[in-house]
Structure 1
Amino acid sequence: MRRIAVVGAGQAGLHLALGLQAAGYPVTLVAPRTPEQLRGGPVLSTQAMFGPALRIERAAGLDLWAAEAPAVREVGAVLAVPPGVRALEYTMTLDEPARSVDQRLKLAAWLELFTERGGRPEYRALDRAGLRELAERHELTVVAVGRGELAEVFARDERRSPHRQPQRTIACLYAHGVGSPGPVAEPRARMHAIPGVGELYLQPALTLSGPCSILLWEAVPGGPLDRFADRPTPAGQLARIRALLRTHLPWEAELWAAAEPTDPGAALFGAVTPTVRHPVARLAADCHVLGLGDALVVNDPIAGQGANSAARAAAWYLAAITERGAAPFDPGWMAETFERFWQQHARHTVDFTTAMLAPPDHLQAVFAAAATHPAVARRFANTYADPADHAAWLADPRTTAAYLAEVTG
């Protein structure tokens, strides 16, 4: 069986490595952290996963937390205007429940599963020279690393990259003890948008210590929500969150009175420049590697596409590799594999995320219609689950207007 190397052990890399292993391929997996280091380290993301991506995990035997992770079927959305006024509200209902599992918990368990199945992960860091040495020993090397030197071996695709700098600064906190706004029968996510200022997302999740709430600030750089650049401790971040909520979203502030960080690694701060990179990197005359996941497509988390797109990409690559048979994994095949995935899925995540970062006028009309027409709110919710629907009704103002006229009369 052909030897394949996977560099990176995040959502995409581990999913692909486990899939190849299950298909009988000898897989060399290079991971930067051991399971123990993952569990004892800081949080990695917010990782909300919608129904289609969860089905992919389930089919691969990797959805290990379905009975424990809170199942989210509804999202309460609020458009707020200063000073802390609810201007518009609606409820979005998902056709299939979404779930979020702390990636420290998830990736550690997947690494252990890879070992239990006979794999021997190589826990080490690679530079460009090390990547070349690895690639020369394997028929195919897939790089699933979204930052640093290894991601930079893939050239930026200027035509497909919508931005040159971060559109938001991001602060994330995992917390216990966050209240619920009224008698909600099931776990419910909440999202708030303050035009020109930023967004707040709150989602139920499963972490190392059990069910929790994940808060994600998406702050316009330099704006009033951009207050975490000094990377405070989780306790310090919680104190600032409470102060910001009292000013901008006072109804949420009341729900955070008894909140506490889940653990010493519960806080995350950063900024993402949305970027698309070319899929093939040439390391030497006859040595090429293929990018996967965040190595090629980096989206701001505002639309929740990161982990979902990673699962889809891993499944897509797995199918392409197994269908290749004995044919060479040459650069042409690498480029075609990604291009087909781009056309099928990745381009829609980029377009949808770009629209959410700076909603055009016709998207504002969708928000307004969602407040009075549940069918509009439901379709908008399920565009997060399947961003390909963005092209069918949100990408063009005329298409959106026709849809809204049909639904609203």
Structure 2
Amino acid sequence: MRTILIVGAGQSGLQLALGLQSQGYEVTLMSNRTADEIRSGRVMSTQCMFHTALQHERDLQVNFWESQAPKIKGLGVSVAGPAPEDDPGGARPRVIDWVGQLDGHAQSVDQRIKMAGWMETFAQRGGRVVIHGAAVSDLDYFSRAYDLVLVSAGKGELVSMFGRDASRSPYSEPQRALAVAYVHGLGVRPEHPDYDAVRCNLVPGVGELFVMPTLTLSGRADILFWEGIPGGPLDAFKGVKDPSEHLALTLDLMKRFTPWEYERATKAELTDANGTLSGRYAPTVRNPVGRLPGGGVVLGVADVVVANDPITGQGSNSASKCAASYLESIVAHGDGEFDETWMTATFERYWQTAQHVTKWTNAMLGAPPEHVLNLIGAAGALQPVADRFANGFNDPSDFENFFFEPEKAEAYLASLSG
């Protein structure tokens, strides 16, 4: 029986561990926290997952919370106009608002619930869980003890083993300051009170506010997620440690920049004392093979090797797709050696999917060109455009067909209006 070590217990590491376990591999999972510590800890992400990523979980029969989590049936975009001339600090009006319908529903499950539950399931099914914060020196030993070592812990010392791929990483600095709050008490969006949707609120030159329903430890909740351009008015959460202060700041910024969302948030309160998160990181693609001092090699997984800004909501989706792709590559390799050539080919197979996410995400971090503004505006009058945008969050490769090039965007709009 082939032995595999997975370092890191996030979406990709646990999904891959459960998938390999179901295929008969002897899998060891290394985590720096126990399931109980994960469950009682701080929120880790926003994790809205779309149809393809959810289907990977269904295929492994680990979609344990699908009946409990809110079913997200749409994805909407609102755009804020400029502040009033006589009140530059005043509330901004909304100049664009539409919602697209998803072909398959999306869902968000608080990773504290999912990761803790998956880790316990993995152990119950006979998997070995080691609670240990791994260092490079540990991996030097483990690379000789296991047939394959996979690194899915996207932070800390281990990431330094994987060099930055400058040809695929246009940014060397963080492009957004991130601030998340999990809340109860948010009112429905009056534009669609009968179904849930992710709402993307764009404030040109300032940043973005995302609002999404989720399942958390205390049941149904909503996530308020600010992405602020560094140095701008939304870049205000550094040093804010008190959860109540974090929420108050979140709401104050909503009142000023997205007053239509603030109107339904006046009764919002945090789900729990660990329901806030803030930080920033530079979007980076790294070389997939980590070389160890003793000569061994390890393979990076998901955001260890492709870390995109969360502006397009692709983190957990990409992690799920990476785990599914790697699982297929490992099983197909049979008894072959997991050498550097295989590792590189395995990553490049996944990159065929990931490259579309990276291209789209990096494009969304910049000022939108005129043809993209035209597309966003047209979606308010042409429902097929809104629907296509919404479903691009599930399959970002479709943006190649109508989003990036002015000629394709014009031809697409002409085909609808003609």
TM-score normalised by length of structure 2: 0.96
CA contact (8 A) 1:233 1:267 kept: no
Residue 395 of structure 2: aligned partner? 386
Q: 2:303 aligns with which of 294, 309, 323?
A: 294
User: 1:336-376 CA distances to partner (integer Å, 9 max, x unpaired)?
Assistant: 11011112x01001011011112232211110110110000
C-alpha contact (below 8 Å) 2:76/2:390 kept by paired residues: no
Instruction: Provide the residue aligned with 2:102 in structure 1.
Output: 94
Which of the numbers 145, 156, 163 marks the counterpart of 2:171?
163
Whether 1:362 aligns to 2:371 is: yes
Q: Which amino acid aligns with 2:9?
A: A
Partner of 1:58: 58
Which of 115, 137, 161 is residue 107 of structure 1 equivalent to? 115
1:173 aligns with 2:184: no
Q: Does the residue aligned with 2:355 lie in a helix, a strand or coil?
A: helix
Mapping of 1:196-207 within 5 angstroms?
196-207=205-216
- 2:293 & 2:341 partners in 1: Cα distance? 16
Per the alignment, residue 46 of structure 1 pairs with 46
SS at match of 1:388: helix
Comparing 110-119 with 231-240, which one deviates more in the overlay? 231-240
Tell me the equivalent position of 1:405: 414
Residue by residue, what CA displacement relative to the aligned partner does 1:124-161 show, whole Å, maximum 9, x if unpaired?
Answer: 10111011111121111010011211011001000001
75-84 vs 105-114, which deviates more? 75-84
Distance 2:301 2:410 in 1: 36
Deviations 1:210-267 (A, max 9, x none): 0000011000111111111113322111111221122112222221111110001000
RMSD across aligned C-alpha pairs, in angstroms? 1.1
SS in 2 for 1:121: strand
Q: What does residue 327 of structure 2 align with?
A: 318
1:337 aligns with 346
Query: Match of 1:304?
Result: 313
In the alignment, structure 1 segments of 5+ residues that lack a partner are: none
Residue number in structure 1 paired with 2:229: 220
CA distance in 1, matches of 2:348, 2:2: 23
Are the aligned partners of 1:156 and 1:275 in contact in 2 as well (CA < 8 Å)? yes
One-letter identity of the residue aligned with 2:59: A
Output the CA distance in 2 between the equivalents of 1:371 and 1:16: 40
Offset, 1:189: 2.2
Identical positions, percent: 45
Counterparts of 1:347 and 1:181 in 2: how far apart (Å)? 34
Residue 19 of structure 2 aligns with which residue? 19
Paired residue for 1:186?
Answer: 195
- The code of the aligned residue for 1:244 comes to L
Aligned to 2:219: 210
Deviation of 1:76 after TM superposition, in Å, equals: 2.7
Aligned match of 1:147: 155
Aligned equivalents of 1:32, 1:231: Cα separation in 2: 25
CA contact (8 A) 1:163 1:275 kept: yes
Paired residue type of 2:371? H
**Matched residue, 2:88:** none
Q: Tell me which stretches of 4 or more aligned residues in structure 1 moved more than 4 Å.
A: none
1:70 alignment counterpart: 70
The code of the aligned residue for 2:277 comes to L
Q: 1:188 deviation in Å?
A: 2.4
Q: 99-108 or 84-93: which moved more?
A: 84-93
Paired residues of 1:272 and 1:299 also in contact (CA < 8 A):
no
Give the C-alpha shift of residue 285 in structure 1. Answer: 5.6
Q: Which residue of 2 aligns with 1:375?
A: 384
Q: Judge which range, 75-84 or 86-95, deviates more.
A: 75-84
Could you tell me how far apart the structure 1 residues matched to 2:345 and 2:197 are?
A: 40
Distance in 1 of aligned mates of 2:334 and 2:44:
36
Partner SS, residue 332 of structure 2: helix
CA distance, structure 1, for counterparts of residue 304 and residue 257 of structure 2 = 36
Instruction: Give the Cα–Cα distance (whole angstroms) in 2 for the partners of residues 360 and 7 of structure 1.
Output: 41
Distance 2:246 2:22 in 1: 42
1:31 equivalenced with 2:40 (yes/no)? no
Q: Which amino acid aligns with 1:147?
A: K
Distance 1:102 1:401 in 2: 40
State whether structure 2 residue 248 is matched by structure 1 residue 236. no
CA distance in 1, matches of 2:349, 2:77: 34
**How many aligned positions are there?**
408
Offset at residue 324 of structure 1 (A): 0.6
Gaps of 5+ in 2: 84-91
